Structure formats: structure tokens, C-alpha cells
């Protein structure tokens, strides 16, 4: 889960209206087309996945054709599965991956209903609703979801199960990605965390304590303002990776929390594109 300081910073993010969200997403899509699209046409499907806690709704993306590809699981931020994360899923799939973007809050509501509600994170009532969705997921639930989602991906004919899978997450999705790598260590070969909140805590359940249980290479992209609040966290991560003998890049980006996701007040196109590039390098090596 995002830590307290991260959440306080997120409260100040300006509200994005439906009209401005659509405009920003369209701009992001055009940028994505320039950078990544054209490599492969992408098939998109809405799917459902059985888990121990119910039925999760999700979006599945894969390149058109008969080729097989490495699988990638994408954990969204506190706003959940929404159009911008579908766009990000398409972009990643166009680069040659089978991508699953689940609704992390399926225990509480369907993604379409959350999008329709248009929760305003800067409003206490809307924020409390989203936090309630997140609070409904405990660590065991995340682990079980991760296993179910990877098992689902492995049933898809487009997935090459001889290749390791990747997992990436944004904000609260960063810790969930660490947990995924520990829950299915023999399946996950690469982890990407982008402005992940609460990767290092004082709790026994701190995500960084799971690193030694994984078999993955890591890319941890830290927000500038998160680093200013907790400058020691990156050092703890680096030492933990070194002690566990894991290949990892931990880097502070010159952008604020939320910079990777088009449509948010902190979106930073230059840093977002750099993050995409570094992720491509990671997956190119670890999921080959």
C-alpha cells in the first residue's frame, strides 16, 4: 500500500475532469503511437479470472498473429483499471508481450463502475472510497491474486511459457509487484516499480524483505518528492538487492509521484518515456 507521506502528496493532485482526461489520454496515445505502436497490431479483450476471493475483471492485450510471447502482469495505481491503463497495456503489448491489467479492486466493485463513479482523489469522500477498496485486499489476497493471474496468463495460447514473465506496478502497484515476484518466484523474471509507495517500511511485511525470496531482475524508478521525504529508502533497497545478489537498478527520476501515468497532475512526459525505455531494456534481457 502507499505509505502515509505518499498519500498526503497524492491528495494535492488536481482533479481531472472527464473532458480533460480524454484529451490527455488522446495525447498520450498519440505519443505512444510515435514511440511504440506500429510494431504489432494489438488484440484487446475483457476477461474474467477466478480467484480464491471471487471473480476478477481484467483487460487482456496481445499482438495479433500466431506468435507466442512473454507474459506481463500490470498492477495499476490507487485509481485502478481505467482507460489510461488500457492504453498502457496496448502500448506494452505492441512491443511483443501478452499483457494482463486486472482490476485490483474486484472484491469491492467492477472496474467499469469505478470509472463511471469518477472518484475525485482530492476529495476526502472519494479518497476514502478508494482507500476502502484497497483496504479490502490483504497480503494473502495479493499473493493469491498474483498466482491466479499468472495461471490465467499461462492458459493463453499466445503466451510462451518457456520465457519468464514480467510484472510492473505504479504507486500501490509497486509493492504488489514485489509481492507477485515472491508469490510465484519460479515464474517472474523481471519486476518494474514506478513511483511505488511503501516499498521500504518498518513492518515485518515490508515489500523489500521479500526480495531474497524472488528470482527476478528489478527496475525501481523512484519519484523525486518521494525520495526527498524518505531519502534512506533507496539506500535500503540497494543494499537489500546487493545482499540478495539480485540484478537491480534503483534510480530517482526528476519527476513527482505519479509521473508515469498520463491524465494525472504529476504526469511528466520526458520522465515517463525514459521509464518506458528502461523497462524495455529490462524485459528485453530478463524475459528473452
Q: Where are the domains of the chain?
A: 4-286
Segment (H or E) for 25: helix 18-35
- Residue with the bigger pLDDT between 38 and 282: it is 282
Tens-digit pLDDT profile for residues 84-97: 999 999 999 999 99
- Segment 201-211 shows an average pLDDT of 97
- Tell me the pLDDT tens digit for each residue of 218-250: 999 999 999 999 999 999 999 999 999 999 999
Residue 102: phi and psi, rounded to 5, are -85, 160
Give 94's Cβ-side CA count (13 Å radius).
Answer: 17
89-121, pLDDT tens digit by residue? Answer: 999 999 999 999 999 999 999 999 999 999 988
* Distance between CA atoms of residues 40 and 64, nearest Å: 7
Q: Does the predicted TM-score (pTM) go above 0.85?
A: yes
What pLDDT score does 107 carry? 97
Mean pLDDT of 168-186: 98
pLDDT level of residue 2 (50, 70, 90 thresholds):
low
Radius of gyration of the chain (CA): 17
Q: What share of the chain is helix, strand, coil (3-state, %, to 5)?
A: 45, 20, 35
What's the CATH fold of domain 4-286? Rossmann fold (3.40.50)
Asked whether the predicted pLDDT for residue 25 surpasses 80, the reply is no
Amino acid at each position: 500500500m502507499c505509505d502515509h507521506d505518499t498519500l498526503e502528496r497524492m491528495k494535492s493532485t488536481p482533479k481531472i475532469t472527464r473532458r480533460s482526461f480524454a484529451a490527455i489520454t488522446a495525447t498520450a496515445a498519440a505519443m505512444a503511437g510515435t514511440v511504440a505502436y506500429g510494431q504489432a497490431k494489438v488484440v484487446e479483450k475483457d476477461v474474467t479470472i477466478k480467484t480464491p476471493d471471487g471473480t476478477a475483471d481484467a483487460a487482456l492485450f496481445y499482438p495479433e498473429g500466431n506468435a507466442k510471447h512473454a507474459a506481463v502482469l500490470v498492477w495499476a495505481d490507487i485509481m485502478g483499471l481505467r482507460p489510461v491503463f488500457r492504453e498502457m497495456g496496448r502500448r506494452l503489448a505492441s512491443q511483443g508481450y501478452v499483457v494482463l491489467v486486472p482490476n485490483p479492486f474486484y472484491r469491492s466493485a467492477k472496474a467499469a463502475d469505478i470509472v463511471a463513479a469518477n472518484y475525485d482523489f482530492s476529495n476526502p469522500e472519494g479518497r476514502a472510497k478508494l482507500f476502502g477498496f484497497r483496504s479490502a485486499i490483504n497480503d494473502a489476497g495479493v499473493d493469491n491474486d498474483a498466482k491466479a493471474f499468472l495461471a490465467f496468463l499461462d492458459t493463453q495460447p499466445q503466451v510462451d511459457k518457456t520465457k519468464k514473465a514480467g510484472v510492473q506496478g505504479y504507486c500501490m502497484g509497486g509493492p504488489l509487484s514485489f509481492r507477485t515476484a515472491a508469490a510465484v518466484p519460479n515464474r517472474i523474471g523481471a519486476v518494474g516499480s514506478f513511483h511505488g509507495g511503501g516499498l521500504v517500511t518498518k513492518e515485518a511485511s515490508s515489500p523489500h524483505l521479500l526480495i531474497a525470496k524472488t528470482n527476478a531482475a528489478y527496475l525501481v524508478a523512484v519519484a523525486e518528492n518521494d525520495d526527498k521525504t524518505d531519502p534512506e529508502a533507496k539506500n535500503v533497497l540497494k543494499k537489500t538487492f546487493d545482499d540478495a545478489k539480485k540484478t537491480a537498478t534503483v534510480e530517482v527520476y526528476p519527476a513527482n509521484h505519479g509521473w508515469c501515468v498520463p491524465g494525472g497532475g504529476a504526469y511528466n512526459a520526458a520522465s515517463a518515456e525514459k521509464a518506458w525505455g528502461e523497462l524495455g531494456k529490462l524485459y528485453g534481457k530478463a524475459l528473452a
